[in-house]
Amino acid sequence: MYKMGGTMNATANNTASEILTPAELAREYRTTKPTVLAWYHRGLIPACTSIGRVIRFDRAAVAEALAARANNPNRAEFARV
């Protein structure tokens, strides 16, 4: 079921993560859409689904990937594009 803003919550028990567009993810992390897409293309964040040119991100999976990399001493890879 889609909610306003293009996000999706799959279950009623709130255990499912929301599915976000690159623009929504950029707003959440206070960055730009090109930066989010660069993170994806560099393999820094996982895509939930990618069909053709349509890419969507799982909020929880991205948060987990970014948290894991935050403890990495080589954090220059997060530079803005």
Question: In the CATH hierarchy, which fold is given to the domain comprising 4-78?
Answer: Arc Repressor Mutant, subunit A (1.10.10)
pTM of full prediction above 0.85: no
Q: Whole-angstrom Cα distance, residue 38 to residue 44?
A: 9
CA 18 to chain CA centroid, Å, is: 10
Would you list the domain boundaries of the chain?
4-78
pLDDT tens figures, 17-67 = 799 999 999 999 999 999 999 999 999 999 988 788 899 999 999 999 999
Classify 34 in phi/psi space as left (phi over 0), alpha (psi -120 to 50) or beta: alpha
- Annotate 46-61 with b (16+ C-beta within 10 A) or e (fewer): eebeeeeeebbbbbee
